[in-house]
Copies of this chain bind each other. A is one copy, B any other.
């Protein structure tokens, strides 16, 4: 087990109607608030009205910036930064899913920085401080509601890049499973894939003697798998929605990564795909992860066999561990497919035309991954396995 610091201070408020607490939770951080959100869905559902009412009850002055799109763009972030500086905003409230929260985090960092916010994503500068952020979560997926990282896309060159800092971690996150009832099936499935991917990235490590975190990862994966079809078939099932929502937060609040180094190549590879193609992050992960697994499993067949056995209930064949390992990979792929995800690039209408470009861009800052280091040619082979 590696040394580590675990410090996740986000206050998680979980349950029905909890968005009514957003005003009293926010007011501790100031009276001038930027309300950040995506499209019109929160207005149609009435959530927007309830949030604004709760904020007004605390005499909070509300500034607004909507329009966040999936794979949030740096242009909107820059707009948010300007708004914050112009109006001396105290606090940013993100109402939405991972894209809105990530956009809010980038704004929060940019608001405390004199240069261009994209500097944080190129490595030209590092985040040192952020405006405080709060979250009302509507899409369980990214885990951004209690993580200290953000991923932003730069339209100029279609780069998708990540950065993070401890001050970026939301002060509070309100998680009401009822708010997820109206999510379309496809988006629900993308979220499920994303949270599973967050666990898988941590699960495949070279660190030995990480039994507790292995088992915690397996616990969360099994819970997600067991509840996935229920939420797709019965979208207003509170209990299943609650399991999925809570699992999505636990998947990415750092606990499952303590004492080990995760891989993260699949996320990076997916960022290259969704940086160019208009594909949801979860769908991209459903394509990349099985291909990545097929490419790297020989690096640690025991770990893949353990995964197959403990997560997918594949019986361990001691005389053929490779068979056990491969059965786990097959089950993973079949599961993603069963919840409506594409598992090949072809299913997502993505051809071979950018394989080399994506492989080149993806590795231009060095090889990807930690479980196995992947170079430009490895990425091309993984893209071919994902065809």
B-binding residues in A (CB < 8 A): 1-16, 18, 208-209, 211-212, 215-216, 218-220, 222-223, 226-227, 238-239, 242-243, 246-247, 250, 255, 258-259
How many copies of this kind of chain does the complex include? 2
Query: For the complex, what is the distance from the CA of A243 to the CA of B8, rounded to whole Å?
Result: 20
Q: Which of B12, B15, B18, B238 contacts A7 (CB 8 A)?
A: B12
Contacts known (A5-B11, A6-B12, A15-B2); A215 close to B223, Cβ less than 8 A: yes
Q: Which 6 A-B pairs have the closest CB atoms?
A: A3-B15, A215-B219, A209-B239, A9-B9, A7-B11, A212-B223
Query: For the complex, what is the distance from the CA of A8 to the CA of B253, rounded to whole Å?
Result: 12
Q: Can you list 14 A-B contacts with CB-CB less than 8 angstroms, sorted by A residue number? A: A1-B243, A1-B246, A5-B12, A5-B14, A7-B11, A8-B8, A14-B259, A212-B223, A212-B246, A215-B223, A216-B216, A242-B259, A250-B255, A255-B255
Shortest distance from the beta carbon of A2 to any chain B beta carbon, whole Å: 7
Query: For the complex, what is the distance from the CA of A107 to the CA of B58, rounded to whole Å?
Result: 36
Contacts known (A216-B216, A222-B215); A16 close to B1, Cβ less than 8 A: no
Residues in B with CB closer than 8 Å to A226 are 211
Residues in B with CB closer than 8 Å to A212 are 219-220, 223, 243, 246-247, 250
Specify which of A12, A212, A216 lies most central, judged by the most chain B CB atoms within 10 Å of its CB: A212
Q: Which of B10, B215, B247 contacts A220 (CB 8 A)?
A: B215
Query: For the complex, what is the distance from the CA of A18 to the CA of B259, rounded to whole Å?
Result: 14
Residues in B with CB closer than 8 Å to A243 are 1, 209, 211-212
Query: For the complex, what is the distance from the CA of A166 to the CA of B219, rounded to whole Å?
Result: 28
Q: Which of B1, B218, B219, B246 contacts A258 (CB 8 A)?
A: B246
Query: For the complex, what is the distance from the CA of A299 to the CA of B4, rounded to whole Å?
Result: 42
Residues in B with CB closer than 8 Å to A216 are 216, 219-220, 250
Residues in B with CB closer than 8 Å to A9 are 7, 9
Nearest-CB residue, chain B, relative to A220: B212
Q: Which of B4, B13, B258 contacts A5 (CB 8 A)?
A: B13
Shortest distance from the beta carbon of A11 to any chain B beta carbon, whole Å: 4
Nearest-CB residue, chain B, relative to A11: B7
Residues in B with CB closer than 8 Å to A15 are 2-4
Shortest distance from the beta carbon of A217 to any chain B beta carbon, whole Å: 8
